Structure 1
Amino acid sequence: MKISNKFKNISKAFVAAITISVALSACSKRDNPEPIPAAVLSVVNASPSVKELDFIIGNQRLNVDPFKFGTKLNYVALYPGFSRISITERGKQVFLLSKDQAYQSGKYYSTFLIDTGTNKSFLTVVDKLDSPATDTKAKVRFLNLSPDAPALILTVKGATTDLFTNKAYKDFTPFTDVEPGDNISFDIKDNTTKAVLTTLAAGKLEKGKFYTIYAKGYKNKPDADPLKFGANIYFAQ
């Protein structure tokens, strides 16, 4: 497909057309087309940079507001197969990074923009959001997306057992059970020294919800720098 020279926002009609029934026609020419479940994608900017960006799928701009460091774009449905994902500087037409990414029908994905400069890349992971209706736990996973951080530990603050250990840059974990609660905080530690590098402020974890925690920024930046080491948490939506 030829890329137009002017990007457009993904319209509500485009999203609605493939999300209302969460199924697509396999082939309009068939008498009885088989439904094909959509692929579903969320996007996170974990690239420690002050630049404002746009995230592009094909020739459609996904974001309305600037796609800045720490920004998350909620799930949208995609036609299954290969989609070209790209970033540009805000409002510009030149691709800074592009990749043809495969998305399978019926699966949920998160694509993370990581690193900076010539090392900038996309990291795509499958979101396994399968949980029985009777589940009484919250689900948490962890990604180390800080380019200069050591291997990391994630632990519930005050717990005697770590959730995840020895997670190097670009490592990610599956979702694991965590007790829900109204006032849960997490520590991220250096895997070697066990020193706490950052703490996520206490918040509510709800049973049956899927939470992603990712380390971001540069460990060697001072506290006043907006690109300093830290962490974000969000739940699937």
Structure 2
Amino acid sequence: MMETKNYKTTFLKKGVIILLAVSALTACKKKDDNTPEPDQKARLAILVSSPGAGELLFYNNGKKTATTNALNFNTVINYFAVEPGTGEFGFSKKDSEIIFAKVNYDLKAATHHSLIFTGKFPESEVILVEDDRSAPATDKAKIRFANLSPDAPALDLYMQGKTDPGLSNKAFKAVSGFVNVDPAANPKFEIKTAGGTTVLATLENFKIEKGKIYTIWVRGLIDAGDGPKLGIEAMTN
């Protein structure tokens, strides 16, 4: 007796297998489509340390930015999101739309930068520094040092009586790289002229915690007159 194959049944079985495979691929695709995209924004922090500048407004590509209100001497704005790409950051007086200090930028996605407004007004200027946000060494913190005093000589930063070559001999507008340091509950920071012994300013009661990253800077003037006197400030990056 001749054997008869049911080609219709075989075809249907194959069709079901193909349909299941397509459904599986579609499900995978949907799952992949629902995966959050990596954050493509850049991040910007602002530090204002320009004696005599008064209140300022911040601009990005010529547009006044609502991210910040009027900025005063020694103002710190923590990281906020900005679009990567090229452009210009600038500052004007609060009651003016004339941008009198600016800097060009080329920001990559997922990077961090600090925008520093410094110099004694009206010779104020803007510095843009990329921030290394990599983790400190095991059981350490990281600090860096910036000399933002327009009339100060090159300076050394001491932490608890110690100095690090990476934090020494920083002239005005110089920003060091980050160095690893031991955490400390109540460290004492001192500023001295490069290679000197006279303490020009101190900072105490600023806790250095394991795993965190900090910027220490000198602000104000040696010859202050009625302006802000030389001092040390600190912020967490």
Same fold (TM over 0.5): yes
> Judging changes above 3 Å, is the alpha-carbon distance between structure 1 residues 178 and 84 closer, same or farther for their aligned structure 2 residues?
same
Q: Is the 8 A contact 2:90 2:101 kept in 1?
A: yes
Q: Give the aligned partner of residue 211 of structure 2.
A: 208
Bigger drift between 173-182 and 62-71 goes to: 62-71
**Structure-2-length-normalised TM-score:** 0.77
Q: Is the 8 A contact 2:43 2:113 kept in 1?
A: yes
Decide which of 122, 127, 132 is 2:126's aligned counterpart.
122
Q: Give the aligned partner of residue 19 of structure 1.
A: none
> Judging changes above 3 Å, is the alpha-carbon distance between structure 1 residues 118 and 207 closer, same or farther for their aligned structure 2 residues?
same
1-side partners of 2:163 and 2:122: how far apart? 40
Residue 157 (structure 1) shift: 2.6
Q: Give the aligned partner of residue 146 of structure 2.
A: 143
Q: Give the aligned partner of residue 219 of structure 1.
A: 222
- Give the alignment's Cα RMSD to 1 decimal: 2.2
Where 2:205 maps in the other structure, the secondary structure is strand
> Judging changes above 3 Å, is the alpha-carbon distance between structure 1 residues 147 and 165 closer, same or farther for their aligned structure 2 residues?
same
2-side partners of 1:167 and 1:72: how far apart? 21
Answering whether residue 100 of structure 2 is matched by residue 74 of structure 1, we say no
Answering whether residue 51 of structure 2 is matched by residue 83 of structure 1, we say no
Decide which of 95, 102, 108 is 2:99's aligned counterpart.
95
**Structure-1-length-normalised TM-score:** 0.77
1-side partners of 2:120 and 2:183: how far apart? 35
Decide which of 37, 40, 44 is 2:43's aligned counterpart.
40
Q: Which of the two has greater helix per residue?
A: 2
Decide which of 54, 57, 64 is 1:60's aligned counterpart.
64
1-side partners of 2:165 and 2:118: how far apart? 25
2-side partners of 1:131 and 1:35: how far apart? 19
2-side partners of 1:105 and 1:184: how far apart? 35
1-side partners of 2:163 and 2:48: how far apart? 32
Q: Give the aligned partner of residue 112 of structure 2.
A: 108
Residue 163 (structure 1) shift: 6.0
Cα deviation code 1:70-122 (max 9, x no counterpart): 00111111111113211111143222223332111121100101113453211
Where 1:136 maps in the other structure, the secondary structure is coil
2-side partners of 1:85 and 1:205: how far apart? 31
2-side partners of 1:63 and 1:169: how far apart? 28
Q: Give the aligned partner of residue 230 of structure 1.
A: 231
> Judging changes above 3 Å, is the alpha-carbon distance between structure 1 residues 46 and 221 closer, same or farther for their aligned structure 2 residues?
same
Q: Which amino acid aligns with 1:186?
A: F
> Judging changes above 3 Å, is the alpha-carbon distance between structure 1 residues 115 and 228 closer, same or farther for their aligned structure 2 residues?
same
Q: Is the 8 A contact 1:154 1:162 kept in 2?
A: no
Q: Which runs of 5+ in 2 are unaligned?
A: 1-36
Larger radius of gyration: 2
Q: Which amino acid aligns with 2:70?
A: P
Q: Give the aligned partner of residue 31 of structure 2.
A: none
Q: Is the 8 A contact 2:146 2:216 kept in 1?
A: yes
Bigger drift between 197-206 and 116-125 goes to: 116-125
Q: Is the 8 A contact 1:189 1:197 kept in 2?
A: yes
Q: Is the 8 A contact 1:141 1:172 kept in 2?
A: yes
